[in-house]
Amino acid sequence: MDFAGQHIVVTGGSSGIGLVTARLLAKRGAAVTLIARRSDQLEAAKQEMGGRTAWAAADVGDKAQLEAALDAAVHQNGPIHGLFANAGLTGGFTPAVQFDPEVFEQTIRVNLTSVFWAIQKVLPAMIEAKSGAILVTGSMGSKRGMAMNPAYVASKHGVLGLTRAIAVEMAPHGVRANCIIPGFIKTEALERIPPEQQGKIAQRVPQRRMGSPEELAEVAAFLLSDAASHVTGQDWAVDGGVLESIEV
């Protein structure tokens, strides 16, 4: 998985899975452009990672901001060889009958529509180059229902369908698209949960532990790399066996 000479864009790249994956890609030779809302964290990441790391601040739920950030990425690091569409919202937990329509629309826009916007923006150059890799962050909610979070589940089912549609259409053009499915990954959000609750979550995983962002980043890097040249249209779970367990 050598990324020398390749430019990978990572949305949601200022923290969590996006940042850890970006670090790994940069370590393996990629020029990485990070896109997220928080410019201070983006700059800190750039200083830490060095090399050809660049960033562009944008709210991915704003089409104009997202497209401007992708244009800036090309200006700073050249043609985009890979897109890791990772930015997203949790949507909040509320019973369906009380769910705020504005929160629903915002969650769909950030988690699903913005992924389509980003893919649509990068595809023409990838088609022309007859090469490209797109990776979308899904969720266990892409594969199963989840009570009291209709917006998140709908959006994550949607990105899996979008990934499959793009994969089939783009396969003749040499462009691949896959969806990575994180399980219970120990990010900042999960670490804020009380330790006893973390223990209960870990026990729901057949491996009896939560995964690390580094474990997920290794799979993400593989799917973005030329090593996965015959892998497209797939949903790839990094979940310790949760989705195959009858216990959940």
Task: Report, as residue numbers or ranges, the catalytic residues.
Answer: 152
Residue at 1: amino acid letter? M
Instruction: Give the residue among 228, 208, 207 at the shortest CA–CA distance from 219.
Output: 228
AA identity, residue 168: V
Q: Are strands 31-36 and 54-57 parallel, antiparallel or unpaired?
A: parallel
Rounded to whole angstroms, the Cα distance separating 173 from 241 reads 34
Residue appearing with tokens 């960033």: 55
For 223, residues 6+ apart whose C-beta sits below 8 A from its C-beta are 133, 135, 178, 180, 231, 236
Cα torsion through 96, 102, 107, 110, rounded to 10? 170
- What does the angle CA 217 – CA 242 – CA 206 come to, to the nearest 5 degrees? 100
CA 49 to chain centre: 19
**143-163 as b/e: b if 16+ CB within 10 A:** beeeeebbbbbbbbbbbbebb
Residue 237, SS3 per DSSP: strand
